[in-house]
Structure 1
Amino acid sequence: MQIRLAQDADFAQWLPLWKGYQTFYKTDIAESVTALTWKRFLDPAEPMHCAVAEIDGALVGMVHYIYHRSCWTAGDYVYLQDLFTLSNLRGKGVGRALIEHVYASAAHEAA
């Protein structure tokens, strides 16, 4: 399994994960918001990020996280907003690996 930042070419595999996440939480996010969110993930000037879990070329999980300012500290916070893995891989370490990626990203930014 490889954990990496999402790339433009990942959209077609990311979208079913994103839709699965929405189904799990019984919500339906507008396509225009989904398109904007994806665009933000790919923009280095945006504080929003998407990492994906990949096994044998297939995306099997995703995590979205956002850096934001705080009134309580000089440094930024990292908010893990969305986490989703394919149901047949739950309990197999995919979600944990995605969370660990967010931890590592936050530690790198703080350094």
Structure 2
Amino acid sequence: MGKPIGNNPQPSKTPCAASTSGTAPTTTARTFSRGMTQRLTIARAILHNPPLLLLDEPYTGLDQASAQSLSALLREVALSGRAVVMTTHELGRGLDGVTRFMQVEQGKLNEISNWQLAIGDHK
């Protein structure tokens, strides 16, 4: 049996902005709020230091502080040379360090060369 794709034996040096600090050690995930569950899911996704991080609406359920921490984390992941692919309806979030911006419009995927302008049109 082969090694799983993205399995990196080196521990991640990325700080876990998605930590569940403030919870009791005996708290189970099923009792978490929507935002805390989202933070836990993101933490699990980055735990093994994958070369590609694929996120679907990662800001859903996060409070302002957690959203800012996630933006900083995604920026750090991207700057470390790993790829971050994210789908979102919140076009103003998490776009620091974006190198390519794709938009689905009328069922077609289009690359937007001037994505800052495109975002301004949708705010």
More helix by share: 1
TM-score normalised to structure 2 length: 0.26
TM-score normalised to structure 1 length: 0.27
RCO comparison, higher one (Cα < 8 Å, 6+): 1
Question: Which is greater in Rg?
Answer: 2
